[in-house]
């Protein structure tokens, strides 16, 4: 389990990201008489002695909103310090419930599009959470050098039509001149479509200037002592030490692998789904599961705490 600092003065809190079918998420305004009154937050409350985080989530949401959760999955766990208290926030993604939401404590409620918020001010801890929630469920990784550049460029527009929103260019063995041409071709397709495109850190520095995001190899991740100067920074992780290093560098997300056995690394010992669940429990950064993934694995990986899945070969079919 990845360690998250927890002090005797730190309160454990269960928090619900309640998401409707249209993608909108429920916020609640903190009522008068409470700390940070008037600020908007994701609903939830303190985990009482003897309760699990999920039990507390069910109870708090029932008491606060008059609804009963029927489907929820663990997500990230984030530590935050306010002037009045330090909290360890255990977030769950809630996708199904019964009843109609109502502010049982007199608090106002609002369904919001996370990319176009119309409420303010937000509780301080929510900024990083909203940024993380906007990450897509699937992260595609290029393999043009393996399947052929023309074939890859033929698949790319189709993948975007099917919902691709984030891509890593990872052509470590491609000659620089060919890579430069590929980068130009890829960006000419992804930029107009609004697809977030990251460059792998193993690719020559000259190619990185075109990108607002960088994906660190595990080797580069472990050598750094501060976050690279990119808007979006991700990293490859294979063990607890690398996961903890990603936290120190304040990365936006990580890719954990290999979860299942893969043809590309047949001798690598897979972490396994249960192993993944244990190692990312109470982890503060969104995790993508990589290794043997297909679209069919998404729901299962998310039910075990992953934000989503990452795919290389299976993304281009």
The half-sphere exposure of 265 on its side-chain side, counting CA atoms within 13 A, is 13
Predicted pLDDT of residue 7: 43
Predicted pLDDT of residue 162: 96
Residue with tokens 């600020």: 39
Predicted pLDDT of residue 6: 46
C-alpha–C-alpha distance, residues 311 and 3, integer Å? 27
Q: Output the six-digit token pair for 146.
A: 């393996």
pLDDT means over runs of 10, the chain (317 residues): 52 98 97 85 96 98 98 96 88 98 96 97 91 98 96 98 97 90 94 96 78 95 96 97 98 98 81 98 98 97 98 94
Q: What is the pTM of this model?
A: 0.93
Predicted pLDDT of residue 9: 67
Predicted pLDDT of residue 8: 46
Q: 261's torsion region: left (phi>0), alpha (psi -120 to 50) or beta?
A: beta
Cβ(40)–Cβ(27) under 8 Å? yes
**Residue-range domains of the chain with CATH:** 10-133 (3.90.79.10), 138-315 (3.20.20.70)
C-alpha–C-alpha distance, residues 54 and 75, integer Å? 11
């Amino acid at each position: 389990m990845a360690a998250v600092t927890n002090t005797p003065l730190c309160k454990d809190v269960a928090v619900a990201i309640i998401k409707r079918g249209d993608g909108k998420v429920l916020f609640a305004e903190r009522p008068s008489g409470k700390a940070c009154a008037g600020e908007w937050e994701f609903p939830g409350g303190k985990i009482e002695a003897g309760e699990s985080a999920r039990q507390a989530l069910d109870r708090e949401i029932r008491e606060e909103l008059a609804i009963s959760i029927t489907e929820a999955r663990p997500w990230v766990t984030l530590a935050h310090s306010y002037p009045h208290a330090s909290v360890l926030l255990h977030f769950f993604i809630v996708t199904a419930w019964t009843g109609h939401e109502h502010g049982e404590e007199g608090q106002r409620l609002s369904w919001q599009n996370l990319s176009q918020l119309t409420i303010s001010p937000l509780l301080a801890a929510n900024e990083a959470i909203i940024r993380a929630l906007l990450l897509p469920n699937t992260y595609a990784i290029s393999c043009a050098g393996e399947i052929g550049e023309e074939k890859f460029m033929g698949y790319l527009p189709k993948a975007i039509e099917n919902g691709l929103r984030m891509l890593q260019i990872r052509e470590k063995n491609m000659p620089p001149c060919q890579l430069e041409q590929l980068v130009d071709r890829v960006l000419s397709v992804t930029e107009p479509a609004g697809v977030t495109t990251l460059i792998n850190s193993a690719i020559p520095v000259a190619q990185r200037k075109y990108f607002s995001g960088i994906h660190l190899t595990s080797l580069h991740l472990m050598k750094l002592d501060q976050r690279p100067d990119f808007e979006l920074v991700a990293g490859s992780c294979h063990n607890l030490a690398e996961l903890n290093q990603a936290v120190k560098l304040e990365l936006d997300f990580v890719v954990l692998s290999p979860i299942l056995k893969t043809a590309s690394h047949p001798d690598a010992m897979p972490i396994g789904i249960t192993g993944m669940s244990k190692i990312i429990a109470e982890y503060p950064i969104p995790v993508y599961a990589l290794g043997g993934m297909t679209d069919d694995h998404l729901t299962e990986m998310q039910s075990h705490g992953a934000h989503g899945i990452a795919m290389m070969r299976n993304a281009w079919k």
